[in-house]
Amino acid sequence: MAVLSAVLASTHHPFYLKAVSMPPEQQIPQAAEWKRKVEAYRETLTRAKPDILVMVGADHFHQFFLDNYPTFLIGKAPRYDATFYNEEREFSIPKYVLEGHEDLSGFMLQGLMDRGFDMSFSNELKLDHSIICPIITTRPQADLPVVPVYTNIFAPPLPSPKRFWQLGRAIREIIDEYPSDKRIAAIGTGHLSLELGGPRQFGEHGPDPEFDRQAIEWLATGDIDAILKNVTHESMAKSGNATHGFMDLILMLGIAGPEKADYVDSLDLYHTMEAYLTWYPKAEAA
């Protein structure tokens, strides 16, 4: 059976590459520390020696729009283009082509259907920065095949936090059952408190630092009960209108299981708090 060698859950800050690539005199004061933290986080993936990456993100109205917006979708394609014109324009993120892994995509799609998740799928998927940001931060050589999973954290009505957890649990079971000698890492990104296009955007900190602190603590201790007790669509909206991306981090905790994280780091930046968590599933440690 395949080995789940690491689970990574982090925020994705689309300005990271731009922030650390500018001439030093134009960089924000935290740029050097940011780069250091990201490179330390990258090492948590490198040491897991993955062969395939299962990548969880959310399309930000790039390929998908309100005429047909999937709740949960899996990519099943031999390769994936990435980065749209308006992302290059705004974030200076380069274009990529990532190899796919159709066999694991198909196994995952069928496995999820068998477990009651009626997934949408795409055989021609162009990836956006929710997948490319973690490629830039954790695997910049972009040399591994990927299985992309998209969720709706964006276009209401959204699935519940509990459903994200359940989807994560199902993905874990399927990875554990995948008949292969490959090492799989699951990487997902979302947000802590975040405001976009509203009165609290681009402040000196994220819009709700208290939620951010608490959310990192919940993830770091694997406390899914506290998350499901306290986090609702309404509570997330109070923390910032785009905070619902936190549900992708709940999904990643679902893949890891209700366990303490093996690596936890964070960085308080303008606009958002960054969080970087990694779990090494127990079977691997034994």
Partner 1 sequence: MSKYYVDKFLYTVDRDPELMRRYKEDPRSLVTAWEQSIGPKLNDAERSTVNSLTEAERNALINHDYVALFEMGAHFFLSLTIFIGLYDEEWTQKHGPLSFQLDFAKRLQHWAGRDYPSVAT
Summarize as ranges the residues that interact with partner 1 (CB under 8 A): 60-62, 65-67, 84-86, 89-90, 154-157, 195-203, 237, 241-242, 270
Of the pair 35, 200, the CB lying nearest partner 1 is at 200
Of the pair 183, 200, the CB lying nearest partner 1 is at 200
CB of 45 to partner 1, least distance (A): 28
**What whole-number distance in Å separates Cα of residue 80 and Cα of residue 19?**
26
Residues, the chain, total? 286
Of the pair 139, 244, the CB lying nearest partner 1 is at 244
DSSP string, 267-282: EE-SS-EEEEEEE--H
Cβ proximity of 184 and 137 under 8 Å: no
Sequence-separated (6 or more) residues with CB below 8 Å from residue 108:
54, 74, 147, 149, 171, 174, 175
CB of 236 to partner 1, least distance (A): 12
**What whole-number distance in Å separates Cα of residue 221 and Cα of residue 205?**
24
Of the pair 67, 143, the CB lying nearest partner 1 is at 67
CB of 158 to partner 1, least distance (A): 10
**What whole-number distance in Å separates Cα of residue 102 and Cα of residue 108?**
10
CB of 93 to partner 1, least distance (A): 13
- Rama region for 271: left / alpha / beta (φ>0; ψ in -120 to 50; rest): left
The structure tokens listed for 20 are 């650390």
Of the pair 96, 154, the CB lying nearest partner 1 is at 154
CB of 142 to partner 1, least distance (A): 23
